[in-house]
A and B are shown apart, each in its own frame.
Chain A
Amino acid sequence: METIPATGLLGASWLLIALPLAGAAVLLLGGRRTDRWGHLLATGTVTAAFVIGLLCTFQLGGLDEPSASVDLFTFIQTGNLDVEAGLLFDPLSAVFVLLITGVGALIHVYSIGYMAHDPGRRRFFAYLNLFVAAMLLLVLGNSYVALYVGWEGVGLASYLLIAFWYTRPAAATAAKKAFIMNRVGDVGLALAIFIMFAQLGTTSYAGVFGEVGLLAGGTVTALGLLLLLGACGKSGQFPLQAWLPDAMEGPTPVSALIHAATMVTAGVYLIARSAPVFDETPTARTVVLVVGAVTLMIGAIVGCAYDDIKKVLAYSTVSQIGYMFLAVGLGPVGYAAGIAHLLAHGFFKAGLFLGAGSVMHAMHDQVDMRRYGGLAKKLPVTFATFGLGYLALIGFPFLSGYWTKDAIIEAAFDRGGTSGWLLGGVAVLGAGLTAFYMTRLVLMTFFGRARWEDGVHPHESPPVMTAPMVVLAIGSVAAGFLIVEAFPLTEWLEPVFGEPEEAAHVVAPLTVSIGLTVVMLLGVAAAWLFVGRREVPTTAPARVSPVVVAARRALYADTVNESLFMRPGMWLTRALVWLDNRGVDGVVNGTAAALGGSSSRLGRAQTGFVRSYALGMLGGAVLIAGALLAVTTA
């Protein structure tokens, strides 16, 4: 695919990043003066970015070669490394730009209502804008270095947003945890970029993809695995998934933005963007597959056990991103399917998070689903939009999730052989579990007897909050059909990923669809049996099976991290501190003390008695004379 210099509006696509960044700058530097209109500015800049993104995408669609580059300036020029800051607007970045700015704008609108009474609202909007700008840089950059700048910007913004209520210890801890676990992944990405520089001397996509085939097999595999490590950190994939649910400590719109539409999808973007690298290394691709499959199961299992509405949604995100990793790990057949699921997921998961925020808004920030119940009548709009998002997520026929998840599972079966059956089986099982825990969530929240605490009077959220939810719900319903059937995303992405291979159809598509629907219905039925049919207790039952205990502890992810990494790390630092205090300081201080002590003792020899000095001199003279004698006679 040829990349042509951008013309017209595409040439101004840097505005996409500049607008939200300027918004963040105005809000952060303007201080209190911007309190009254800051949120409007922030929302305006993101909406404008969406409009520009839309127009750019239309222009891109009209080009013969749908790939436009914008050269901005020389970013780094040192030795034989030359990094030109530039943007690459191609079908893949276009999809992400639309998702980020579109869902981002809706979340901004929602936040106006959700954060209306928060004294730090201006700060919140500044961070949101910063986040959107960083994310856009991430997907628009034309080199790995540009991507890395955006990557770190997203990490910073997520840290600031998760710790937005920084006076809460839980929020501060969660932000630190997210930041540190992200850094672990970022080391992988950074090392991958170093390898590119050392081996290829370039970090631009065009340069790397053009020459990656010339590298030794082991180097490419290392490159792929390091990129995957980076992707795992950002996307909350196994084994770096533990930060994502904790990050729910941030305000709910943040959860919707970070955990549905933008940040966690960055890992999928990275792997999809690096497709030419992964094409060269089947090993790394297999690891991507395994990571995806393992994570989708972990997310689904843990999602079944939590009572915190946002954490269930968070584990659902972990699980769904697992599907996307599974898809992109399948290679050329799966890339478009993974991106399609990502797009559809962006809609319905953002809608679900906003719905959860609306429920919390009504329930005085209560997040325990055991304290909900019977909210369907009190919150009709929330219920309707949430319900549509729910149906889209569990793969109800002809809604978004159905189309996109179906495509992934088909592709998994098409891999053929044992691994194909295994991966397909895991994906189908995951779909069943998804149906189970999401049905459980809906039943506990919207149905059954009201289990509210005294003094809670649920009320529907204001229109500024419900309107974005309605838009997202419409997206949840329609997006899947639109991007899979009506305007196939596969074709749109063809310039990036190449012609898709003819599907093998190991299992007939109709069989997959029907089978998936049956599994989904089984999940719903199981949820009805375990949750809907019975009375939900207001406190979680204490006597449960070991499986439930393990799931409630998030399959011991935190325990493992703590005992494998945190504790040894602390021991190591303590040992080093001890060594520093006793060893290094001891040597230095000991030398000083020895010199000081011996000098004060030697000082005692200065008695002031002339005769003792004379004795000293005599002794010295005798000594020297004796020595001379010994030397001369020897």
Chain B
Amino acid sequence: MNISNYLVLAAILFTIGAVGVLVRRNAIVVFMCVELMLNSVNLTLVTFARTTGTVDGQVIAFFVMVVAAAEVVVGLAIIMGVYRTRRSASVDDVNLLKY
């Protein structure tokens, strides 16, 4: 098993996710891209855990999943709230907290 394959895959996934966060306007899609980035990190963690033969990385990966799930709950609630008031899920429409 060559670990660099896993790492390259994780990097590709992370890049896709990052680009998605930066270029997409729809809050839902942005969210999914964030999930993609988190998962690429999880993949990296698991890969390193396998390589070193410890479970530390896998434990952390579980934590990331839990936190991501919790975050999604809050985030989706916010998106719903925004959509109700503005009839839009575009992240560029909510720029009230500016200078």
- Which residues of A approach B to under 8 Å, CB–CB? 603-611, 614-615, 618
Contact = CB atoms under 8 A, between A and B. Distances in A.
Contact of B98 (A606, A614, A618): A606
B95 A607 contact: yes
Contacts, number: 35
A610 B23 CA distance: 11
22 contacts: A604-B99, A606-B97, A606-B99, A607-B98, A607-B99, A608-B94, A608-B95, A608-B97, A608-B99, A609-B92, A610-B30, A610-B91, A610-B95, A611-B21, A611-B23, A611-B25, A611-B30, A611-B91, A611-B92, A614-B22, A615-B22, A618-B22
A607 B95 CA distance: 7
B89 to A, nearest CB: 12
B99 A603 contact: yes
A608 B98 contact: yes
Nearest to B25: A611
Nearest to B33: A614
A611 B96 CA distance: 14
A609 B22 contact: no
Contacts of A604: 99
Contacts of A609: 91-92, 95, 98
Question: Which of A603, A605, A606, A608 has the most chain B CB within a 10 Å cutoff?
Answer: A608
Interface in B63-99: 91-92, 94-99
B49 interface: no
B18 interface: yes
A609 to B, nearest CB: 5
A606 B95 CA distance: 10
A618 B18 contact: yes
Given A606-B99, A611-B92, 14 more contacts: A604-B99, A605-B99, A607-B98, A607-B99, A608-B94, A608-B99, A610-B91, A611-B21, A611-B22, A611-B25, A611-B30, A614-B22, A618-B18, A618-B22
B21 A608 contact: no
Interface of B: 18, 21-23, 25, 30, 91-92, 94-99
A607 B92 CA distance: 10
B10 to A, nearest CB: 14
A606 B98 CA distance: 5
A614 B33 CA distance: 12
A596 to B, nearest CB: 14
Nearest to A618: B18
A499 B22 CA distance: 110
A602 to B, nearest CB: 9
B29 to A, nearest CB: 12
A603 B98 CA distance: 9
Nearest to B21: A614
A553 B25 CA distance: 91
Contacts of A618: 18, 22
Contacts of A605: 99
Contact of B96 (A608, A614, A615): A608
Nearest to B92: A609
Contacts of A611: 21-23, 25, 30, 91-92
A20 to B, nearest CB: 75
A245 B96 CA distance: 80
A603 B91 CA distance: 21
B98 to A, nearest CB: 3
Contacts of A603: 99
Contacts of B18: 618
Contacts of A606: 97-99
Contacts of B91: 609-611
A331 B23 CA distance: 104
Contacts of B94: 608, 610
Contacts of B95: 607-610
A608 B22 CA distance: 14
A618 B34 CA distance: 13
Contacts of B22: 611, 614-615, 618
B18 to A, nearest CB: 6
Nearest to A622: B18
Contacts of A614: 21-22
Q: For the complex of A and B, list the 4 residue pairs with the smallest distance between their C-beta atoms, beginning with the closest.
A: A608-B95, A608-B98, A606-B99, A603-B99
A543 B92 CA distance: 94
A277 to B, nearest CB: 76
A618 B23 CA distance: 13
A91 to B, nearest CB: 89
Contacts of B97: 606, 608
A615 B97 CA distance: 17
A614 B31 CA distance: 13
A609 B95 CA distance: 5
A215 B97 CA distance: 81
B22 to A, nearest CB: 6
Contacts of A615: 22
A345 to B, nearest CB: 84
Contacts of B92: 609, 611
B75 to A, nearest CB: 11
A604 B98 CA distance: 8
Contacts of B99: 603-608
B15 to A, nearest CB: 10
Nearest to A609: B95
Nearest to A614: B21
A390 to B, nearest CB: 90
B21 to A, nearest CB: 5
A605 B95 CA distance: 12
A607 B97 CA distance: 8
Nearest to B24: A611
A615 B22 CA distance: 6
A603 B99 CA distance: 6
Contacts of A607: 95, 98-99
Nearest to A605: B99
A341 B88 CA distance: 110
Contacts of B30: 610-611
A613 to B, nearest CB: 10
A618 B96 CA distance: 22
Contacts of B21: 611, 614
B99 to A, nearest CB: 4
A618 B20 CA distance: 12
Nearest to B96: A608
